[in-house]
Structure 1
Amino acid sequence: MTTTTTTKLLSALLICISAIGMASAAADVAAAAHPGCQTRCGDVDIPFPFGIGDKCAIHEGFQLKCKAPKQDSKLMKPFRGDFEVTKISVEDGKAWVKAYMSSQCYDPFTGGMSYSDASANFSGSVFWLSDTDNRITIIGCQTLAYMMSDSYVIGCSSTCDDNDQTPNNGSCSGAGCCQASVPKRIQYYRGYFNEDYNTSKIWRNSPCSYMVVMEDASFNFSTTYLTSRVFNETYKGEVPVVLDWAITPDTCKEPQRNKTSYACVSNNSHCIDNMNAQGYRCQCSNGFEGNPYVKDGCKDIDECLHSPCSEICTNTLGNFTCSCYPGRYMMNGVCVPNKKIGFASVPAVVGASVIFVVLVVTMMFAYLIKERRKLRHIKQHYLRQHGGLLLFEEMKSQEGVAFKIFSHEELQEATNRFSEQQILGQGGHGTVYKGLLKGNTEVAVKRCMTINEQQKKEFGKEMLILSQINHKNIVKLLGCCLEVEVPMLVYEFIPNGTLFDLIHGDHGQQISLATRLRIAHESAEAITYLHSCASPPILHGDIKSSNILLDRNLIAKISDFGASILAPTDESQFVTLVQGTCGYLDPEYMQLCQLTDKSDVYNFGVVLVELLTCQKAFNLNAPEHEKSLSMRFLNAMKNNKLAHIIDGQIKNRENMPFLEEIAELAGQCLEMSGVNRPPMKQVADNLDRLRKVMQHPWVEQNSEELESLLGESSRVSSRGTSTANFSIERRGVMELDSGR
């Protein structure tokens, strides 16, 4: 064996030993925690910032317990509260846990259905459901189920008797199995089944149905899940769920100022803000790997172990360099032998180099032109797909339509490339950004999340309908962008926030009953316009205090009315998707899966109760029977305890007659059956009448008589007639005319 060969073998051996040592060190760092703390529980590594035992985690939010589960006392496993932790990733900021599944099964002994409604609650913690890794999955042959959170109700239905579709292994498209996306920033959910859909008639062929929120990568549909209890037996009642986590709810700026509590303690690490929720976490810099939460936890990656160079690789801190053996030089990343170049061959080399450069530049320009054409074709495809050509033609034929088709580049420039700093709000339908168009026109740009194929075909036509809506209490739709996969909407910018902020915000200002009544009346007029004056009529679908904007003079403007066209618009789609906002969702819509104008009336009834009580529509932390504001309000009305729930700022002897009639009107809007709810026009007329009565100076002089008249009005109004209402207004005018 030659000396050179021996040297090479020794070098290779040293590299291998070094690699083994570094791998071992990296493993130690990944699991490192405070001295003396447990770094493993069962077969799960517990890396810092997580910890087992007192003062072993970065703070209490990351503290785990190592214990034996009830069903298996032999193997110790880590738990976060009631959830078994199966895996932790420091690099990705994720944790895998097991969560219970919701199920409905036929019980042959009782002859009825048995239900198990599972839930998960991470409220107030550093964890939330990963919207990218999890899916809402429903399995069954006659099943409609929902995931209800503190902000959303989302679900779908699956059937097995559709002539067009039959259940197939690996396919979850509505036949025996359906799926829906998990919204962002969800910390609490509970699974529910619509009891009108059940398996009591088909239990021999399909005994059970299931609703789970679980990791999408771990689920693969099998038709045996429909014909047996295999799904429950496969996962033993618990499914894998992926959680995202952050160190604290703060963004990077706040903790970086306070170095004592800053979590990114390792050299060669940096802070990153979570894109889908509030909070920050840490990451090793490029070229380093390990645990950024531990001192010196980010170790240099030896890239040379993977032979990235053709000959000689030299590892550097966070990077590497390539070089060639003596007598060779690097050309285009490859080592080639040196050649003695004579004087005569210089022109040939220069000429070849020039030709090479020209070829490269030509190829680059050709590639750019090809990519631009490709991008143009994609934009034109989306424009045609969303009905843009039809929209252009209709706009030409209808003069005076103040509606613009924006380019993607225009909206990117207006929103600073959709910067996070421009975000005005986020909801179930999409994200809204503040934008500044050329000419200093402020706008609100809404990037919608998803639309289905049917909605894409009708989008241009429906945009034209919405563009013609012109009402002082409705946010004006200025235009849209159709050359992207999911269209974007451009609205006028309303500067003073939402009714939700006014009612529930910590601003210290008092809101008079007159202001609340005016806002309610203006909102009701806007909804009436959508129902009665728009052609065709428009159902809003998501009336709530956060969708009622206020301008500089606190004039109400209904926003997000375009959400209705992004929701299903025919019966076949309604039965496969139910979504709304917790606390506002119409119970009849949940049962029948069909949105009507009376669904908007119910939503508005909840807003009226918010204005009366200054309480939120849904309180996750309240006892089970008090979570819903509408239920608490109806119980108070039923038990004659209205005064107990009314906001103290507006509760006084002079206001009580008006408050009682507004409460009576809200109660009618919150009727369980839509048939019993008043039309929106009647609601608006009643609010208008109340405003006029409040504005008469006669009111103060005749408060006792007014109280009796309003009481009579409420009783008659509840029986479906407006005679007393007319009498009050007419009596007020007569009193004024007579000089009283």
Structure 2
Amino acid sequence: MFHPLLAGRLMLFLSSTLAAAAVPGCQSRCGDVDVPYPFGIGPGCAMDGGLELTCTGNKLLIAKTSLEVTRVSEADGKLWMKNSIAKQCYNPATRSVESMTASVNFSSRPFFLSPVDNKIVVIGCRSLGYMQSDTYVVGCSATCGGDMIPDNGSCSGAGCCQADVPRGVRDYVSFFNDNYNTTQIWRETPCNYVALMETAAFNFRTSYLTTTEFSDRYSANLPVVVDWVISTKKCREAKYDRTTRYACISNNSACADNELDIDECLDNVTYPCGGICKNTLGGFVCSCPGGKHMMHGGVCMPNERPIWVVPLVGASAGIVILVIGITCSYLFRERRKLHIVKQKYFRQHGGLLLFEEMKSQQGVAFTVFSEEELRQATNKFHEEQILGHGGHGTVYKGVLKSGDVVAVKRCMTIDEQQKKEFGKEMLILSQINHKNIVKLLGCCLEVEVPILVYQFIPNGTLFHLIHGDHGCQISLPTRLRIAHESAEALAYLHSCASPPILHGDVKSNNILLDGNYTVKISDFGASTLAPTDESQFVTLVQGTCGYLDPEYMQTCQLTEKSDVYSFGVVLLELLTRKKAFNLEGPEHEKSLSMWFLSMMKANKLMDILDDQIKNDENIEYLGEITELAKQCLEMCGENRPLMKEVAEKLDMLRKAMQHPWVQQNPEELDSLLGEWSAPGVVNTGNFSIEKKVVMGLKSGR
């Protein structure tokens, strides 16, 4: 009985006894896999070095490779092994397509990829994958949509396609066409795949498109069938070559040329060669005799240049190629290092946690930008794009690819305690939806200090309106409206947001005005979620001089009453049109809050109030507002009102000013705001305002 064995370009027939026997003293089994001769485990145990195998941890490997062999058949002249798949996935974290190739190289071994038992399989809804070797490029395109509806078990182009493996292929690399990827469809179809695998082991499933099931199943366990041979010589060559071990030495063996490889030199039409043709395994080499050179199309032409020019040109080209290679290698290495650093920052700032939160909260309008996107939007953060500077960073005007105008804030520092939860906090802040709060649109986490992207507000800041040299008249109703809208926004952050949010840097520079001069509270660079335990209290004092809560400066514990104090200073700016802190002023006038309290104590408020709003019609309202400011500026936080109470008080005052009856009878203001609860005291909800303040303003004291 005879068993056929492929023999490179020759077919051998050996007896089953010879085929199954192992070299004495050599291991014949590894794990669950039998190892028949001519294969062998270890040096000297195989007929040929290319058939040597190793046994590591009960895994049978092709020697000097990581390819695991799962079965060997001497009767069929085949072996089965595991290989990896090539995949192409869009990474939403880095906003880039990441590809992984797969390859096999048997150029120094007597192995061929079986063209009968394997197929090239491409999976994806927008995928063009192919296999490339020295002599072949074979692939196909898979797509979805329209008439192309994927179906289980069908691999004919709808979500899955396949191509035949060419004959005689001993090495290959799987690639993707970069123009076909999952950038636009990654939520529905996360990845594309290319696999050279055993046909019988593959059955297409539509779940391979919508999940990572295919990758999880075959990532490093892709079954591949390999045809193996004893010799790569033809029979006539092997028979007379006594320097090698000729296998067909027995009377019970016969030699036959293997048909897996073709002789390209015999087909001059398909493989033209006008010179010297030398057949190789899987290909051919065409060369010219001395004095001639190869032209395109395989035609040899006489040399026109001196023979010394050729090596000179070759040397020059070699140097150029070497320089280009070194440069490309350096650039690739630097790019790789930069990518690793960006990923480190992204994870450090809670980017992965942010994506998990975004998945669980469908419909959240929040974007994680790449650094390159924001560089393009701001013209590489050009100084002409700067909108303003602050204690926490610089704000730039930017235009996204969509045409939307945004404000891009490059923060200077970030608290170490905030880093891990930063992404999650940004998502919480993005869900704030209030007409008087600037919308946080997104952030960039792949930089050392995160970059924030806000809604763009065109009309400048309250600071510019109050202190700018523009000659504008600002009426008391306008100032009261601005104060009320600002208080409403802060009250929303403190009382309605979940969890509560502390602004941390309330000041006139952070109160923006849109086209209708409607208030938009901005700059959450210093914002933090309200602490739930003592370990979460801020340990680094932050804010702006002139607005800082004295109690916060002593305890380093930011509370909602810290925002109330800062808002009280903004109220004073609206009433006086003086800056919160003035280094150039006299010592007692440097701090506006301290100056105000001292003037109020001395009954000289008229000396500090803005002349534009000092008139008889406004006296009652000015008394109410100044007393409210005083309450906000209490040294002890517990004695200050809640922001919600401040907003309610300002709302009542606005309604009182708009009421026609009150405008005709200012003295009746008391009855609208509340009844007298005691002689000389007006009850206005949670506030008690002494009547003497109003009377003092009337008398001009």
In which range does the TM-score fall when normalised by the shorter chain?
A: 0.5 to 0.7
- Tell me if structure 2 keeps the 8 A contact 1:621–1:627: yes
1 CA distance for matches of 2:587 and 2:648?
A: 36
Deviations 1:547-571 (A, max 9, x none): 0000010000100134223999975
- Tell me if structure 2 keeps the 8 A contact 1:448–1:487: yes
SS in 2 for 1:471: coil
Q: Are residues 571 and 714 of structure 1, via their aligned partners in 2, closer, same or farther at CA, if it must alter by over 3 Å?
A: farther
Query: Which amino acid is the alignment partner of residue 433 of structure 1?
Result: Y
- Tell me if structure 1 keeps the 8 A contact 2:676–2:683: no
Deviations 1:471-494 (A, max 9, x none): 100000000001111110000000
Q: Are residues 354 and 643 of structure 1, via their aligned partners in 2, closer, same or farther at CA, if it must alter by over 3 Å?
A: same
2 CA distance for matches of 1:620 and 1:725?
A: 34
- Using the size of structure 2 for normalisation, the TM-score is 0.52
1 CA distance for matches of 2:680 and 2:424?
A: 40
2 CA distance for matches of 1:675 and 1:723?
A: 14
Matching residue within 336, 342, 360 for 1:373: 336
Please say which of residues 352-361 and 541-550 is displaced more in the overlay: 352-361
SS in 1 for 2:419: helix
Give the structure 1 partner of residue 487 of structure 2. 524
Matching residue within 503, 507, 510 for 2:473: 510
- Tell me if structure 1 keeps the 8 A contact 2:473–2:612: yes
2 CA distance for matches of 1:353 and 1:454?
A: 57
Query: Which amino acid is the alignment partner of residue 341 of structure 2?
Result: I
Query: Which amino acid is the alignment partner of residue 640 of structure 1?
Result: N
Residue 613 of structure 1 pairs with residue 576 of structure 2: yes
SS in 1 for 2:420: helix
Cα displacement (A) at 1:577: 2.1
Query: Which amino acid is the alignment partner of residue 410 of structure 1?
Result: E
Query: Which amino acid is the alignment partner of residue 390 of structure 1?
Result: L
Alignment of 1:376-525 (within 5 A): 376-525=339-488
Deviations 1:421-467 (A, max 9, x none): 11111111111111011122110000011114321111111111111
1 CA distance for matches of 2:680 and 2:500?
A: 26
Query: Which amino acid is the alignment partner of residue 498 of structure 2?
Result: S
Matching residue within 643, 655, 679 for 1:692: 655
Matching residue within 489, 496, 500 for 1:533: 496
- Tell me if structure 2 keeps the 8 A contact 1:434–1:442: yes
2 CA distance for matches of 1:460 and 1:441?
A: 23
Query: Which amino acid is the alignment partner of residue 420 of structure 1?
Result: E
2 CA distance for matches of 1:679 and 1:724?
A: 11
Gaps of 5+ in 2: 1-304, 690-701
How many residues align? The count is 385
Q: Are residues 724 and 413 of structure 1, via their aligned partners in 2, closer, same or farther at CA, if it must alter by over 3 Å?
A: closer
1 CA distance for matches of 2:546 and 2:677?
A: 26
State the structure with more CA Rg.
2
1 CA distance for matches of 2:404 and 2:572?
A: 36
Query: Which amino acid is the alignment partner of residue 547 of structure 2?
Result: Y
SS in 1 for 2:452: strand
- Tell me if structure 1 keeps the 8 A contact 2:569–2:629: yes
- Tell me if structure 1 keeps the 8 A contact 2:461–2:512: yes
- Tell me if structure 2 keeps the 8 A contact 1:584–1:606: yes
- Tell me if structure 2 keeps the 8 A contact 1:455–1:566: no
- Tell me if structure 2 keeps the 8 A contact 1:615–1:629: yes
Alignment of 1:587-666 (within 5 A): 587-666=550-629
2 CA distance for matches of 1:532 and 1:600?
A: 13
2 CA distance for matches of 1:509 and 1:554?
A: 13
1 CA distance for matches of 2:488 and 2:632?
A: 15
Residue 359 of structure 1 pairs with residue 322 of structure 2: yes
Query: Which amino acid is the alignment partner of residue 500 of structure 1?
Result: F
- Tell me if structure 2 keeps the 8 A contact 1:475–1:491: yes
Q: Are residues 465 and 661 of structure 1, via their aligned partners in 2, closer, same or farther at CA, if it must alter by over 3 Å?
A: same
1 CA distance for matches of 2:315 and 2:372?
A: 41
2 CA distance for matches of 1:538 and 1:506?
A: 34
Query: Which amino acid is the alignment partner of residue 722 of structure 1?
Result: G
- Tell me if structure 1 keeps the 8 A contact 2:405–2:455: yes
- Tell me if structure 2 keeps the 8 A contact 1:601–1:680: yes
Gaps of 5+ in 1: 1-341, 727-740
2 CA distance for matches of 1:715 and 1:521?
A: 28
- Tell me if structure 2 keeps the 8 A contact 1:451–1:566: no
Deviations 1:355-413 (A, max 9, x none): 22122222222222222222222211111111111111211221111100001111000
Runs of 4 or more above 4 Å deviation? 566-576, 707-721, 723-726
- Tell me if structure 1 keeps the 8 A contact 2:549–2:562: yes
- Tell me if structure 2 keeps the 8 A contact 1:668–1:718: no
Deviations 1:192-216 (A, max 9, x none): xxxxxxxxxxxxxxxxxxxxxxxxx
Deviations 1:155-209 (A, max 9, x none): xxxxxxxxxxxxxxxxxxxxxxxxxxxxxxxxxxxxxxxxxxxxxxxxxxxxxxx
Query: Which amino acid is the alignment partner of residue 367 of structure 1?
Result: Y
- Tell me if structure 1 keeps the 8 A contact 2:530–2:559: no
Q: Are residues 720 and 355 of structure 1, via their aligned partners in 2, closer, same or farther at CA, if it must alter by over 3 Å?
A: farther
Cα displacement (A) at 1:708: 8.0
1 CA distance for matches of 2:609 and 2:321?
A: 79
